[in-house]
Amino acid sequence: MADQTKEPQLFELSNGSMHVKITNLGCTITSLTVPGKDGQLADLVLGFDTLEPYVKGAAPYFGCIVGRVANRIKDGKFTLDGIEYSLPINRPPNSLHGGHKGFDKVIWEVSEQKGGENPSFTFTYHSRDGEEGFPGDVLVRATYSLTSSTTLRLDMEAVPQNKPTPINLAQHTYWNLAGHSSGTILDHSAQIWANHITPVDQNTVPTGEIMPVKGTPFDFTTEKKIGASIQEVPGLGYDHNYVLDCGEEKEGLRHAVRLRDPSSSRVLNLWTNSPGMQFYTANYVNGITGKGGAVYNKHAAVCLETQGFPNAINQPNFPSIVVRPGEKYKHTMLYEFSVE
């Protein structure tokens, strides 16, 4: 197996004001530095100084692209065209983020790189028929590019070669706009362009219901502090799929979320063409030693994982995530950083 001998490498995108480091292990963002007020630079993503902890699996999906299917598949089972498939139960009782060795734990090929004002890297991966229980070969591409002085764009594509398959890729970076080592994100404020969420059962799998957020702690339709009503959320915090149903559109993308940190005045506006977004407040991060010796704890960051709905393959009323040969899965995320 030639694949096993490939070493992960680190690549850097820079345009003078923004610096992003990415490894081809899981297409993972390990560092993203952007100015705050008074031009102060900070690294906004949780992660490690070296690649070794990523290789050893020390990160709870820090910075990576997850797939073939992001989020949970109930009981690790689904039926497609009359065939039942069984997946690894890597997060009992469900399958999570593609199984034991999802797209986050494989080494991608670097297929293209561009310099200049809008530098980019394109990574590709060939997912095999039967890999982690999923049907058919799939060719996957991910391109990270700096499209303006403080904008990062991610374009993900996947093409099934010979069988229909569920595909749902997500970018799982843990963001802290004050800097990765600055403590919790409970003082960040968020506005999410979603009038509904998909409520979950005790195993964090959607029940199938589409629930209005109005009058609940899940309501971020107007800007509010993440910590304002997090205590009212059942469980340890937010870990829910928001239905992106009311954002304005631009260039085929919908406004998903605006995240703001009062201490640095940094703002992140995220645009996507996905129907949902997992809003996750790092509830299970517990004493992980990261970059520069920083210790990451609960609520040290927030994940903004635009996606198809969790367990959509088993929920006929959710938008379908099945992609058939001859079709192409396309998922774009635009991260616009600013200071206000």
Domains in the chain and their CATH numbers?
Answer: 10-339 (2.70.98.10)
Q: What angle do CA 122, 45, 156 make, to 5 degrees?
A: 25
* Predicted local distance difference test score (pLDDT) of residue 2: 44
Q: Look at the block and give the residue holding tokens 């192409």.
A: 328
Cα–Cα distance for residue pair 198/165, rounded to 1 Å: 23
* Residue 21 CA: distances (Å) to CA of 76, 121, 161: 33, 11, 31
11: helix, strand or coil? strand
pLDDT digits (tens, 9 = 90+) for 10-69: 999 999 999 999 999 999 999 999 999 999 999 999 999 999 999 999 999 999 999 999
| DSSP one-letter code for 7 | P
Which residues belong to the active site? Answer: 172, 305
Cα–Cα distance for residue pair 206/44, rounded to 1 Å: 30
* Predicted local distance difference test score (pLDDT) of residue 5: 58
Q: Which residues are CB-neighbours of 246 under 8 A, at least 6 positions away?
A: 193, 194, 195, 221
Longest Cα–Cα distance in the chain:
59
How many Å separate Cα 218 from the centre of its chain? 19
Which pair of tokens denotes residue 72? 């949970």
174 assigned ligand-binding residue? yes
3 assigned ligand-binding residue? no
Q: What is the pTM of this model?
A: 0.97
90 assigned ligand-binding residue? no
Kindly give the confidence (pLDDT) of every residue in the chain, 340 residues in length, as a single tens digit, with 9 standing for 90 and above.
Answer: 344 558 999 999 999 999 999 999 999 999 999 999 999 999 999 999 999 999 999 999 999 999 999 999 999 999 999 999 999 999 999 999 999 999 999 999 999 999 999 999 999 999 999 999 999 999 999 999 999 999 999 999 999 999 999 999 999 999 999 999 999 999 999 999 999 999 999 999 999 999 999 999 999 999 999 999 999 999 899 999 999 999 999 999 999 999 999 999 999 999 999 999 999 999 999 999 999 999 999 999 999 999 999 999 999 999 999 999 999 999 999 999 999 9
Backbone angles phi, psi at 147, to 5 degrees: -95, -10
Q: Which residues are CB-neighbours of 231 under 8 A, at least 6 positions away?
A: none
User: Which of 258, 235, 237, 257 has its CA nearest to residue 184?
Assistant: 237
CB atoms within 10 A of CB 2: 5
270: helix, strand or coil? strand
Please say whether the beta carbons of 152 and 271 come within 8 A: no
Q: What angle do CA 161, 158, 116 make, to 5 degrees?
A: 130
* Predicted local distance difference test score (pLDDT) of residue 6: 84
Cα–Cα distance for residue pair 161/141, rounded to 1 Å: 14
Could you list the beta-strand ranges (E) of 24-162: 28-35, 41-43, 65-66, 72-73, 77-80, 83-86, 95-96, 109-114, 120-127, 138-148, 151-160
Cα–Cα distance for residue pair 285/282, rounded to 1 Å: 6
Q: Which residues are CB-neighbours of 237 under 8 A, at least 6 positions away?
A: 230, 281, 282, 283, 298, 299
173 assigned ligand-binding residue? yes
* Predicted local distance difference test score (pLDDT) of residue 1: 37
Strands 109-114 and 95-96: unpaired
